């Protein structure tokens, strides 16, 4: 499984805030500890592999049989990691080169909330201490349209789309995407071509 930590696939809001977030968390840790992003963008297939952990397929459905790491399968419901660019990251804490997968120090990931993020440790039903996601108030007008606008900005830059910058990725947007990238879906292959040709979306 490929957990892609490349900032290329992070939402511009994350890239802008990330240095301050990491610094704020690090400031709360012992001197011999450090932090890093350990997961950012995931494909739906990646997400489904995580979903299957701690579950067994019985009688036509996935049943919990052990310790699970997520309740989102990436297909019937998207994780914030599954959007492209992604709107969530997972933070890892290290002591030297040793990754601390389970530590009370993860309470300090909450420092990210100061920068317009929601912390998974505040969730009531499923606490995800390493997880930070952009607050919906910072994804206007909503998550889906905000992400689609990023893609439309690339298509406008390429001169292949002259429609409204409205986040409605309809037939006109799709046709422009296919003409430019050879892809009809907003997938990693298409995003790679757009990013590599035109640079990060915040510079468009």
Q: What is the pLDDT of residues 16-51, one digit of tens each?
A: 999 999 999 999 999 999 999 999 999 999 999 999
Q: Which of 192, 132, 190 is nearest to 9 (CA)?
A: 192
Beta strands in the chain (DSSP E): 33-39, 55-58, 61-64, 88-95, 98-100, 117-119, 131-134
pLDDT per residue as tens digits for the range 128-149? 999 999 999 999 999 999 999 9
Measured over the CA atoms of residue 68, residue 72, residue 75 and residue 76, the dihedral's sign is positive
What does the domain layout of the chain look like in residue ranges?
A: 7-42+79-138, 143-198
Contacts for 37 with CB less than 8 Å, ≥ 6 apart: 5, 18, 22, 89, 90, 91, 92
- 105 near 92, Cβ under 8 Å? no
What is the reported pLDDT for 15?
96
Domain 7-42+79-138 has CATH 3.30.1380.10: yes
Contacts for 51 with CB less than 8 Å, ≥ 6 apart: 62, 68, 70, 71, 72, 73, 74
- 145 near 166, Cβ under 8 Å? yes
Q: What is the pLDDT along the chain (204 residues), one digit of tens a residue?
A: 455 889 999 999 999 999 999 999 999 999 999 999 999 999 999 999 999 999 999 989 999 999 888 889 999 999 999 999 999 999 999 999 999 999 999 999 999 999 999 999 999 888 999 999 999 999 999 999 999 999 999 999 999 999 999 999 999 999 999 999 999 999 999 999 999 999 999 999
């Amino acid at each position: 499984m490929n957990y892609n930590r490349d900032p290329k696939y992070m939402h511009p809001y994350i890239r802008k805030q990330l240095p301050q977030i990491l610094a704020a968390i690090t400031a709360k840790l012992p001197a011999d500890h450090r932090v890093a992003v350990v997961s950012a963008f995931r494909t739906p297939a990646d997400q489904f592999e995580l979903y299957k952990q701690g579950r067994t397929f019985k009688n036509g459905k996935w049943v919990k049989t052990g310790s699970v790491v997520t309740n989102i399968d990436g297909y019937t419901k998207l994780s914030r990691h599954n959007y492209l660019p992604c709107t969530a990251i997972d933070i890892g804490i290290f002591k030297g080169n040793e990754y601390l997968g389970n530590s009370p120090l993860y309470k300090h990931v909450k420092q990210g909330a100061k920068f317009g993020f929601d912390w998974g440790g505040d969730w009531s039903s499923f606490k995800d201490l390493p997880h930070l996601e952009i607050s919906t108030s910072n994804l206007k007008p909503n998550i889906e349209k905000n992400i689609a606008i990023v893609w439309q900005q690339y298509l406008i830059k390429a001169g292949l789309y002259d429609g409204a910058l409205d986040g409605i990725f309809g037939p006109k947007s799709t046709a422009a995407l296919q003409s430019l990238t050879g892809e009809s879906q907003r997938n990693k292959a298409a995003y790679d071509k757009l990013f590599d040709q035109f640079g990060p979306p915040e510079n468009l």
